[in-house]
């Protein structure tokens, strides 16, 4: 990390950092950041809402990238985040070859074990009935990112996934989520079935989606504390996850397509819960 320059602090109270060419060369030649976010929308959301979680920022030094990145440069300066110029090759390496739009950020991971994260998410709700999302075996990072984006829009307290055989919080997930990966806790648990039992003991009702279920999502009362459970596309929920659910519901299909993409199904289920809860407030 570049040394802070002693002198006039930024508006956030942090000292501005100066660019060290030698340090810049070393940072570009070193290993890519373990926790990276890239893409203008994802990084803007981080700098705007959670600047304390941005350790440093690399911005493209090409002339064509300058106008698009000026806002990010200004946000980083206000937050006191160290910024460094990087060429296209370095950015490509840090982003793992994905489309980065000229910006890569190193992100400080959330603190706390999964149990603590869930406890904090539930406590933050106060008297509001909890709405959580469980994704069992979703391995595509683009699907996970899209689910996080829908979860954020629906006010979900946390998204829970198994630690093994499922997508985790990767740079691709962060980019697709467009900032939602930082606002919605993604909790990776060792034993999903045990976590589901613990949520039931806390008074949350588990509603799983399954093809062929006798009731539809529109027949279910989702106004109380609810955990919506979805499985992977194709295989669906695993047996223990399915057995842990209090109710199984289907999303009615009128056409020739037999199933929906998991991120589409998650959006439908989440916003049916949102619709019902808002209707109570009218």
Q: What pLDDT, on the 0 to 100 scale, is given for residue 64? A: 56
Domain coverage including residue 138? 114-281
**pLDDT one-digit tens code per residue, 23-56:** 443 345 555 676 888 888 888 888 888 888 888 8
Pairing of β 4-9 and β 15-17: antiparallel
Do 275 and 211 belong together in one domain?
Answer: yes
Q: What pLDDT, on the 0 to 100 scale, is given for residue 21? A: 38
Do 143 and 234 belong together in one domain?
Answer: yes
Residue 140, both tokens: 């595509």
Question: Does residue 244 have a pLDDT over 80?
Answer: yes
Do 123 and 243 belong together in one domain?
Answer: yes
Do 52 and 168 belong together in one domain?
Answer: no
Per-residue burial over 153-164, b = 16 or more CB atoms within 10 Å of its CB, e = otherwise: ebebbbbbbbee
Other Cβ atoms less than 10 A from the Cβ of 34: the count is: 8
Residue 220, both tokens: 């279910």
pLDDT band at 96 (very low <50, low <70, confident <90, very high): confident
**pLDDT one-digit tens code per residue, 81-95:** 988 888 888 888 888
Do 35 and 161 belong together in one domain?
Answer: no
pTM score above 0.85: no
152: domain CATH number is 3.40.1280.10
Question: Does residue 179 have a pLDDT over 50?
Answer: yes
Q: Report CA dihedral (99, 34, 193, 153) to the nearest 10 degrees.
A: -50
């Amino acid at each position: 990390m570049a040394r802070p320059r002693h002198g006039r602090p930024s508006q956030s109270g942090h000292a501005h950092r100066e660019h060290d060419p030698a340090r810049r060369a070393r940072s570009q030649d070193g290993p890519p950041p373990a926790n990276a976010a890239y893409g203008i929308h994802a990084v803007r959301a981080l700098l705007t809402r959670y600047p304390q979680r941005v350790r440093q920022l690399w911005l493209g030094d090409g002339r064509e990238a300058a106008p698009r990145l000026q806002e990010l440069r200004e946000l980083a300066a206000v937050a006191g985040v160290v910024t460094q110029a990087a060429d296209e090759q370095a950015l490509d390496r840090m982003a793992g070859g994905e489309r980065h739009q000229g910006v890569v950020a190193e992100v400080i991971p959330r603190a706390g074990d999964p149990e603590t994260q869930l406890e904090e998410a539930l406590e933050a709700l106060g008297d509001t009935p909890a709405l959580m999302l469980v994704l069992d075996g979703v391995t595509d990072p683009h699907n996970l990112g899209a689910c996080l984006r829908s979860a954020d829009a629906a006010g979900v307290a946390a998204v829970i996934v198994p630690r093994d055989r499922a997508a985790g919080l990767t740079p691709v997930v962060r980019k697709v989520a467009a900032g939602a990966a930082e606002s919605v806790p993604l909790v990776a648990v060792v034993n999903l079935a045990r976590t589901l039992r613990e949520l039931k003991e806390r008074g949350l009702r588990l509603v799983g989606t399954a093809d062929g279920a006798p009731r539809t999502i529109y027949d279910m009362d989702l106004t109380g504390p609810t955990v919506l459970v979805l499985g992977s596309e194709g295989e669906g929920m695993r047996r223990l996850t399915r057995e842990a659910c209090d109710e199984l519901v289907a999303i009615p299909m009128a056409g020739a397509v037999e199933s929906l993409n998991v991120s589409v199904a998650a959006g439908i289920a989440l916003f049916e819960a949102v619709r019902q809860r808002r209707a109570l407030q009218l």
